[in-house]
Amino acid sequence: MTATVIVRDPEILGGIPCFRGTRVPFQNLLDYLEAGDTLDQFLEQFPTVTRQMAIEALETAKDSLIRLSPFKRPPM
Write the pLDDT tens digit of every residue in 10-53: 999 999 999 999 999 999 999 999 999 999 999 999 999 999 99
Three-class SS state of 18 = strand
Confidence class of residue 64 from pLDDT cuts 50, 70 and 90? confident
Confidence class of residue 1 from pLDDT cuts 50, 70 and 90? very low
Alpha helices in 1-76 (DSSP H): 26-34, 39-45, 51-68
Angle in degrees, CA 16, 17, 23, rounded to 5:
80
The CA-based dihedral angle spanning residues 16, 19, 23, 27, taken in that order and rounded to the nearest 10 degrees: -50
The mean pLDDT of 66-76, rounded to a whole number, is: 70
Higher pLDDT, 28 or 67: 28
CA 20 to chain centre: 10
CATH numbers and ranges of domains, the chain:
6-62 (1.10.10.10)
What are 6's strand-pairing partners? 19
